[in-house]
Amino acid sequence: MDQIALMSIRFLPFTTYARELEDIKTTTKQEFIASLRRTSSGIFRGASIYRGVTRHHQQGRWQARIGPVAGNKDLYLGTFSGA
């Protein structure tokens, strides 16, 4: 077991998270990361609740894209100030 799992044993009874611990043991690193990304709110990554809409890192405006389209490139729709 890793240190995080061992630390959590001290604070919570084992029966509280036994099922989750079994799931973690059978999950690959890639599956675990994909699961975190799917369940993440995205707010901390500059993403909106809408698919294809993100916060532009320099301008701070919302940027919309559709992709991949023909040739595996994203179709850029532009930047917008807000709703």
pLDDT along the chain (83 residues), means of 10: 57 76 86 78 64 82 85 86 72
Whether 50 and 80 map to the same domain: the answer is: yes
Whether 23 and 52 map to the same domain: the answer is: no
Tell me, what's the pLDDT at 41? 58
Number of independent structural domains in the chain:
2
Whether 33 and 66 map to the same domain: the answer is: no
Whether 31 and 50 map to the same domain: the answer is: no
Tell me, what's the pLDDT at 33? 82
Residue 7 belongs to domain spanning:
1-39
Whether 35 and 51 map to the same domain: the answer is: no
Tell me, what's the pLDDT at 46? 62
- Residue 77 is classified by DSSP as E
C-alpha separations of 10 from 21, 61, 79 in Å: 15, 45, 49
Whether 55 and 34 map to the same domain: the answer is: no
Tell me, what's the pLDDT at 3? 60
- Residue identified by tokens 């675990």 is 32
Tell me, what's the pLDDT at 1? 54
Whose CA is closest to 35, among 43, 23, 48? 23
